[in-house]
């Protein structure tokens, strides 16, 4: 039986709505800071390769050698 995958846009919208609802109900500053820290950590691990690759491509376009090493 074929499985259907949820489109990435739909998943992103749902997760964003959940985060916004969590931030709206979190009354205390430490709870909001914890959510922000967790989202920041997630963003670093999810998008780090993208930013390093983009920076390397920009450096090569500008004629710079070297660049940033890609993590293992």
Each of the 72 residues of the chain gets a pLDDT tens digit; together they read: 455 555 567 777 777 887 777 777 766 777 778 888 888 888 888 888 888 888 888 888 888 877 777 766
- For residues 19 and 43, the answer to whether their CB atoms sit within 8 Å is no
Rounded to two decimals, the pTM is: 0.43
Q: What is the per-residue pLDDT for 67?
A: 73
**Total residue length of the chain:** 72
Q: What is the per-residue pLDDT for 47?
A: 82
């Amino acid at each position: 039986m074929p499985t259907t995958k949820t489109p990435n846009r739909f998943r992103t919208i749902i997760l964003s709505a959940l985060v916004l609802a969590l931030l709206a109900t979190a009354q205390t500053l430490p709870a909001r800071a914890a959510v922000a820290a967790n989202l920041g950590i997630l963003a670093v691990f999810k998008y780090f390769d993208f930013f390093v690759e983009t920076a390397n491509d920009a450096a090569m376009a500008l004629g710079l050698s070297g660049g940033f090493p890609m993590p293992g």
